[in-house]
Amino acid sequence: MVNTALIKQVLKYATVGMLSLGVDVGVFTIARHLQVELFFANTLARFSGALTAYSGNYLWTFSKPQLFKEWLKTSWKYTLLWVFTTTVSTVLINALIDYQTNETAAKICVELLMPVMNFVIARYWVYR
């Protein structure tokens, strides 16, 4: 039996994720072009993407009521998820760059790996 509600949720999550990835990679590329150090460029980029993702997923994907208490409950969890994934992302990008991978290509490869982990954690812990 097909769970259409879950399929819709995954498609919404993917849409928000692609928009967030565009923001993330765009900010990273611009920051590196401006010669911002890799750690700070990645942190700024992931923060920009995270704001996009959190807002889109909170308001649309997981359709949470606009209650301040609920926002506070999910925002600190999302912050912890963001810190964890930003650390993992930065370590992996550095590792790929050490193997002579182009910085933007490394960023895209790493960020394409993160959504599955993020979806599971967001669905069952952050927006629960």
Name the pLDDT band for 5 (thresholds 50, 70, 90).
confident
Dist CA 128 CA 126 (whole Å): 6
The pLDDT of residue 119: 82
pLDDT tens readout for residues 52-111: 988 888 888 877 656 656 767 778 888 888 888 888 888 999 999 999 989 889 989 988
The pLDDT of residue 26: 96
Q: Find out whether 93 and 38 touch, Cβ atoms under 8 Å.
A: yes
Confidence (pTM): 0.70
Q: Find out whether 57 and 127 touch, Cβ atoms under 8 Å.
A: yes
The CA radius of gyration of the chain, in Å to the nearest whole number, is 15
